Amino acid sequence: MIRADLLQRSRLEGLQGSKSADRVPAFVPSDNRLMTRSRRLNAVGRNVLRKEGIEKVTGTVRYIDDLSFPAMLHARTIRSTIPAGEIVGIRLNFDTDGFTIVDHRDVPGRNVVALIEDDQPSLAARAVRHVAEPILLLAHPDRDVLRSADVEIEYRQTSPQYDAGTSPAIFKTIAIDKGDLEAGFRAADVIVDGDYRTGHQEQLYIETNGVIAVPDPDGADHGITVYGSMQCPYYVHRALKILLGLPDEKVRVVQTETGGGFGGKEEYPSMIAGHAALLAWKSGRPVKLVYDRVEDMLATTKRHPGVIRHRTGVTRDGRLTAMDIDVLLDGGAYATLSAVVLSRGVLHATGPYRCDHVRIRGRVTMTNTPPNGAFRGFGAPQTQFATEVHIDRIADRLGIDPVRIREMNALGPGDTTATGQRLGADTSALHVLREAVKRTGFKRRRRQLSRGLTPGSDPSRTRPLRGIGLSLIFHGSGFTGGGEVKLASRASLALTERGARILVASTEIGQGTRTMHAQIVAETLGIPYDAVEVNAADTGVVPDSGPTVASRTCMIVGRILQRCAEEMKARLGRMTPKQYLRAHGPLMITKEYERPAEMRWDDATYRGDAYGTYGWACDVVELEIDRDTWEVKPVMFTSVHEIGRPIHPMLARGQIEGGSAQGLGYALLEEVVMRDGRMANAQLTNYIIPTTLDTPPMDIVMLGIPYPHGPFGAKGVGEMPIDGPAPAVVNALRHAGIDLREIPATPERVMRAELSSLKSEVKCEV
């Protein structure tokens, strides 16, 4: 059995952690090159070894399901089986001896999963709004006994709402206006309309959601500690305080090594942590609650499906004169983060294009399906999918090249966005576009393939159809609008004998938080990378650095750490850490987020600087369409990203490659089938994510134009890679002659699109 205190120790020891494990893995890098490099000073920009890399490849790192506590109970969640209605009665058809049973009446504080609206109960009391809504919790020492417990729930059903478009329950609306839309349309030679649809997407981290709640042993005045897989320990901390009615210091939340998040562990851990805590509170024993894959897929949040309408005015030569955009997102049954997802969605709805006259209307509504929530990209993949497909349709209509229309309209330094933000010198839409076009020989390749597509070129229709398409994308780094000011994130740096220890609530979820933060601190202090340790994300110890979301962990939290390190360096003067500690005692420096002086944002009018800065990317996809099965196979993928200066180029590349693969899954494979408000394919057998054989070779280029307010010029990177692949794929399909306006582009959809275009051709001939 693995004790939890070992966990903390191994986490703190970073690279040395493996020494504390029972079976000591001997790990020596193949040559000393990488290690030596990391001991040299310049840490930033180098591919130093990942802090917890050795534990990960030896299997010694502990995820939540690898941990166990004495006298621990296992837990199970009883969920609704109807999409809408009321609970009439609950019958327990088992011997309850030895069970801990919790329902809404056992909540000591407020029965909510506290987030933005506080509309979602931790446990349904009477009303049920979606399938898989938690109603009852069971815990028992024996998992087999637990599994066999039969609970029967009687409901009075009401008629469910599945259509987000007609739903009267609106979580949030946002309006953005720029210039004079009617004047923009008057200046247009051509007006192009289009509706675009995007589906749900499941984050599908390979480690499912899980937590262990441990009640503190001592008497009446006790508190609780929750360990778990999560992105945002302080979100969970706040939710637990409100659910249990406890003060700050009685709740402690510790992130365990987390096997992927992608937004799926942003808000949901507050729910599951609350459930384990309620059971632990009632039983007085540690309680483990780990979902299996089916439960995780049925119950937890997904990407919001979207319907986006464009009406665009354009001059004959391709200049955008007016953009009228309507964004509708399906929020599911509770508000979760929907308002913020919508915000990022509408703020990216014009794509990276200059237009003087813009109207954007966004709304997210309630439906009786499991709540949708955070997922990498956070609204931007939906809206930019629509824009990028629409831009290609406009180019088609005008008979101009898809590269040309983008070159004409791409945002550049000094241009303003839809909210009136004047863009800085690091605005690189044209750079990434030109680099991607040059690198792939896009225009030539497109002509070549087009010739193959002309009637008569393949009379037997035996060759697969081929097409090539591109997308141009931008993505704001950090929280939207005034979000970072409201968060007021803090980070701390403690002096140690060897160097420094980082204390932040930012979590390592695979992206390399610990490593990249340590590089920033090492570089600033002028000490070796290995001399910087990273504390566990434990609310008992670390300050609230805000959530690990929104491509903010490097640019925002990294910058705060850099400022801590600058002050530490000044305090040290010429002393070594050891000398300083001996002379002055412990040194801990804490800094808070500082808004760049020129940043302005007005939440009431939605005007101003929506983000500190933006990343820019251009994706090119070439694909093949099987004429018999209508399967679409990407055969080549190129992505050019401008993300400021990458702190750790290999990790940054990993973000781009991984996000691109996830984006290709969104484009082609990943379909959540909702039947009667329930996910009908909640398992990996039929919810398909890309395997090695579905993922094309990737050519990744990183351009770096430093952002003055990011640490060493860095901007955000995590989310942007998922925005571009889907529109590039659908634009490549259009190039191959298939007019599709929704994703995922499954064989069924591609076939239907092809058949309906054939039908319309036949009609024309008649």
Q: Which of residues 39, 56, 197, 443 is near other proteins by CB under 8 A?
A: 56
CB of 493 or CB of 664, closer to other proteins? 664
CB 381 → other proteins: shortest distance, Å? 16
Quick one: which of 560, 651, 720, 745 contacts other proteins (CB under 8 A)? 651
657 binding other proteins? (CB under 8 A):
yes
Q: Does 268 bind other proteins (CB under 8 A)?
A: no
Cβ(348)–Cβ(165) below 8 Å: no
CA distance 453 to 460: 13
Report the residue number, 24 or 88, with the smaller CB distance to other proteins.
Answer: 24
Angle between helix axes 233-244 and 268-283 (nearest 10 degrees) is: 40
Decide if residue 20 touches other proteins (CB under 8 A): no
- Region from 203-211, 326-334, 353-361, 400-408 binding other proteins, contact rule CB under 8 A: 203-211
Three-state SS annotation for 545-590: CCCCCCCCHHHHHHHHHHHHHHHHHHHHCCCCHHHHHHHHCCCEEE
How many chain residues bind other proteins (CB under 8 A)? 70
Select 146 or 335, whichever has its Cβ closest to other proteins: 146
Instruction: Give CA 737 to chain center in angstroms.
Output: 33
Encoded one letter per residue, x for contact with other proteins by CB under 8 A and - for no contact, window 674-713 reads ---------xxx---xxxxx-x-xx-x-------------
Residue 15: which H helix or E strand, with range?
A: none
| Minimum distance of other proteins from residue 242's CB (angstroms) | 29
Nearest to 171 by CA among 29, 364, 20: 364
688: three-class secondary structure by DSSP: coil
Smallest gap from Cβ 239 to other proteins, in A, equals 23
Residue of the chain from 4, 7, 43, 61 that contacts other proteins (CB under 8 A): 61
Strands 224-228 vs 251-255: parallel, antiparallel or unpaired:
parallel
Supply the minimum distance, in Å, between the C-beta of residue 443 and other proteins.
26
The verdict on 62 binding other proteins (CB under 8 A) reads: yes
Asked if 53 interacts with other proteins (CB under 8 A), we say yes
What secondary structure does DSSP assign to 192-243, as a single string?
Answer: EEEEEEE-------SSPPEEEEEE-SSSTT--EEEEE--S-HHHHHHHHHHH
- Please state the length of the chain: 766
Residue type, 15: L
Tokens 């750079």, residue located: 431
Residue 660 interacting with other proteins (CB under 8 A) = yes
H/E stretch holding 483: helix 483-487
**Amino acid making up residue 116:** I
Phi, psi angle pair for 702, to nearest 5°: -115, 120
Q: Which is nearer to other proteins, 102 or 618 (CB)?
A: 618
**Quick one: which of 85, 259, 263, 711 contacts other proteins (CB under 8 A)?**
259
Written in H, E and C, the secondary structure of 486-551 is HHCCEEEEEECCCCEEEECCCCCCCCCHHHHHHHHHHHHHCCCHHHEEECCCECCCCCCCCCCCCC
Among 54, 271, 323, 386, binds other proteins (CB under 8 A): 54
Among 160, 370, 658, 677, binds other proteins (CB under 8 A): 658
Residue closer to other proteins, measured from CB, 24 or 127 = 24
- For other proteins, the binding residues in 65-104 under the rule CB under 8 A are 65-66
Q: How far is the CB of 155 from other proteins (least distance, A)?
A: 29
Q: Among 134, 269, 510, 577, indicate the residue that binds other proteins (CB under 8 A).
A: 510
Q: Closest CB to other proteins among 641 and 741?
A: 641
Q: Which residues bind other proteins (CB under 8 A)?
A: 1-2, 18, 22-30, 34, 47, 49-50, 52-63, 65-66, 203-208, 257-262, 292-293, 509-512, 650-651, 653-654, 657-662, 683-685, 689-693, 695, 697-698, 700
